[in-house]
């Protein structure tokens, strides 16, 4: 991650997470008018989470933005990241948030990931806010996607897990817990 994030960030490919979240919320809005939906509630906290994450103070970096096991392969030169479809230029902490959001079992190793990514100054609260934002982004991505395509059982299960996790992780960064 450190080597990727140290590459010069191009002008193109800038990713505004708050804008993306608002866009998803607009597109799924007609589908989530029921009182049980928390989309509007979550969106109201997104700007605060972005501020708390400290993203505006960090230099923009190239992000893979889809870091999970099937996007990492071993080659003769070492590990290689593949599937750059979601790559963007934004806050480098979002790549760490991606790993921790996709792999909850990696959360005890967050300080290791941060240290080896050159982000050792990140506080637990900043990280919690960033992970929550990544979870919200992924949740809204699933919600919007299922308006266009029939979801698989695995996608529905992932969306459900995120819907259950979002309230807990929202409270984590709002209360300052790690």
- pLDDT tens per residue across span 44-94: 899 999 999 999 999 999 999 999 989 999 999 999 999 999 999 999 999
Q: Which long-range contacts (CB under 8 A, 24 or more apart) does 34-40 make?
A: 38/163, 38/166, 38/167, 39/140, 39/143
pTM of the model as a whole: 0.92
125 close to 101: Cβ distance less than 8 angstroms: no
Residue ranges of the chain with per-residue pLDDT less than 50:
none
Reference 178, options 112, 118, 110, 115; nearest CA is 110
pLDDT at 40: 84
In a 13 Å sphere around the CA of 29, the CA atoms on its Cβ side amount to: 9
């Amino acid at each position: 991650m450190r080597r990727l994030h140290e590459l010069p960030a191009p002008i193109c490919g800038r990713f505004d997470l708050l804008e993306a979240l608002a866009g998803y919320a607009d597109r799924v809005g007609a589908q989530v008018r029921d009182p049980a939906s928390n989309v509007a509630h979550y969106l109201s906290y997104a700007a605060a989470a972005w501020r708390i994450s400290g993203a505006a103070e960090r230099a923009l970096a190239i992000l893979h933005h889809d870091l999970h096991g099937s996007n990492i392969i071993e080659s003769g030169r070492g590990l290689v990241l593949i599937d750059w479809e979601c790559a963007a230029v934004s806050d480098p902490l979002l790549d760490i948030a991606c790993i921790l959001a996709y792999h909850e079992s990696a959360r005890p190793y967050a300080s290791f990931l941060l240290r080896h990514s050159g982000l050792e100054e990140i506080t637990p609260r900043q990280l919690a806010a960033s992970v929550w934002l990544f979870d919200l982004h992924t949740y809204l991505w699933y919600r919007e996607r299922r308006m266009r395509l029939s979801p698989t059982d695995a996608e529905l299960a992932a969306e459900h897990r995120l819907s259950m996790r979002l309230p807990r992780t929202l409270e984590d960064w709002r209360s300052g817990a790690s």
